[in-house]
Structure 1
Amino acid sequence: MLNIITKEVPIDEELQSKIQFICDFCNVKPIFINGSIRKIEKTNINYIEPNKIIIKSTTFLAFNHNKDVYVENLQKRINISDLQEYIKSL
């Protein structure tokens, strides 16, 4: 039987403060949801679930120590520096 071990990974403080600052400037309130690492016991298979940031009912995905955020899924990537313009267009 497969045992899956889930470990929560808190969002990086620097990343959270950058996104919080951008959202404060855009006058919106983000909701932060921590990501996790899921590991199948006795194997080398791991899945890293990204941190989720919900802004104006749009879900953004972000990995710790990364300068990009993803919109809804991992297909559309934008740089954190462009996030303010993207939020204003929502």
Structure 2
Amino acid sequence: MVNIIKEEITLEESLKKKIEFICNFTNNKPTIINGSIRKIDKTNLTYIEPHRIIIKNITFLAFNYSNEIFIENLSNKIKLSELEDYLKTI
């Protein structure tokens, strides 16, 4: 039988502060859902689920120690510094 071990990881504090600062500046309130690490027991397979940040009903995905944020899925990415401009256009 396959056992999947799920461990929650918290959003890096500096990344959280950057996102909250950008949202305060653009008058938005983010909803942050922590990501997780999923390991398949007795194998070396691991999946890192990104943190989800919901702003204006749009889900953004973020990884700790990254300067990029993904819009809706992992194929659309922008730099964290461009998030403010993106939020102003939607």
Counterpart residue number, 2:50: 50
Q: Deviations over 1:55-82 (max 9, x none)?
A: 0000000000000000000000100000
| Amino acid in the other structure paired with 1:57 | N
Identity over the aligned pairs, expressed in percent?
A: 54
Structure 1, unpaired ranges of 5+: none
Q: Distance in 1 between matches of 2:14 and 2:36?
A: 18
Q: TM-score, normalised by structure 1?
A: 0.99
Q: Deviations over 1:19-76 (max 9, x none)?
A: 0000000000000000000000000000000000000000000000000000000000
Q: Distance in 1 between matches of 2:14 and 2:51?
A: 13
Q: TM-score, normalised by structure 2?
A: 0.99
Q: Which SS does the other structure have where 2:85 is aligned?
A: helix
**Between Structure 1 and Structure 2, how many residues are aligned?**
90
Counterpart residue number, 2:73: 73
Q: Which SS does the other structure have where 2:38 is aligned?
A: strand
- Displaced runs of 4 or more, over 2 A: none
| Amino acid in the other structure paired with 2:40 | I
Counterpart residue number, 1:88: 88
Counterpart residue number, 2:36: 36
Counterpart residue number, 1:6: 6
Structure 2, unpaired ranges of 5+: none
Q: Distance in 2 between matches of 1:61 and 1:72?
A: 7
